[in-house]
């Protein structure tokens, strides 16, 4: 119950996020066509790579479905996280895509635009409607209704695969921007001081050594003139 309540609280907090994705779902195909095609035909493989990248390649941080499902933390992730992630992306592909999305949203305070919400909502509604039509066709036994339900199911699956591909491309573009701001190559692990949000300023002394000689910019401290050099000594 506590985990479910925490997930509900997170969902409510996401409604107050102010930042937006670098590209919306409508523009992902134009932004990165090769990766969008890769996501369309190899969805589970892309989901595996993106989740690992979202965790900065540190699989010790991996939890099944990113901790958003009741089974999270109970699947032996600490013993074999790579195998658990493979199982997740192949058996629970939709949840794996959504979990990566939630991770990025929570890390960078990213909201989902109304347009993206409409696309995702349309995908879910179409799937539900296709399922209902299939059940009705099975009960009624009408051949024409059965063919119509199969066509609708095919359409729903096409929309589902397309939206997931666009969504994963959106995640990839967002992480490209993250790595660029962190000064890392794609798939690189950031340094320890860079593990915080990239839009927060670092402490002023990060990456800078202490000035030598007690605060002088460089070199030894300036010499003090003596009386022999032309300056009067105290008391003269």
For residue 112, CA distances in Å to 11, 16, 17, 116, 202 come to: 12, 10, 9, 6, 28
pTM: 0.71
Is 168:30 a contact under the CB 8 Å cutoff? Answer: no
pLDDT of residue 215: 41
Q: What is the pLDDT of residue 13?
A: 73
Q: Which two tokens stand for residue 90?
A: 């192949």
Per-residue model confidence (pLDDT) at position 209: 40
- pLDDT in the model for residue 196: 38
Q: Map out the domains of the chain as residue ranges.
A: 2-183
Q: How many CA atoms lie within 13 A of 63 on its CB side?
A: 12
Task: Identify the segments of the chain with pLDDT beneath 50.
Answer: 186-236
Cα of 97 vs its chain's centroid, Å? 10
Secondary structure (3-state) at 20: strand
Question: Which value, to the nearest 10 degrees, does the dihedral of the CA atoms of residues 210, 213, 217, 223 take?
Answer: 180
pLDDT of residue 210: 41
């Amino acid at each position: 119950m506590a985990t479910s309540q925490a997930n509900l609280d997170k969902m409510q907090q996401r409604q107050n996020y102010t930042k937006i994705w670098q590209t919306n779902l409508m523009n992902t195909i134009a932004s990165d066509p090769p990766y969008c095609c890769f996501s369309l035909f190899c969805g589970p493989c892309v989901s595996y790579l993106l989740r690992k990248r979202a965790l900065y390649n540190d699989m010790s941080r991996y939890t099944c479905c990113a901790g958003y499902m009741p089974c999270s933390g109970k699947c032996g992730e600490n013993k074999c996280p790579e195998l658990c992630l493979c199982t997740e992306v192949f058996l629970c592909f939709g949840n794996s895509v959504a979990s990566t999305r939630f991770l990025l949203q929570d890390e960078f305070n990213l909201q989902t635009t109304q347009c993206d919400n409409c696309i995702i909502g349309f995908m879910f509604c179409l799937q539900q409607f296709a399922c209902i039509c299939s059940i009705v066709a099975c009960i009624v036994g009408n051949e024409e209704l059965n063919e119509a339900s199969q066509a609708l199911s095919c359409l729903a699956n096409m929309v589902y695969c397309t939206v997931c591909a666009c969504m994963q491309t959106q995640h990839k573009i967002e992480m490209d921007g993250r790595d660029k701001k962190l000064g890392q190559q794609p798939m690189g692990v950031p340094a320890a001081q860079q593990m915080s949000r990239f839009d927060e300023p670092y402490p002023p002394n990060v990456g800078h050594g202490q000035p030598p000689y007690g605060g002088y910019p460089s070199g030894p401290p300036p010499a003090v003139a003596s009386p022999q050099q032309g300056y009067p000594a105290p008391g003269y």
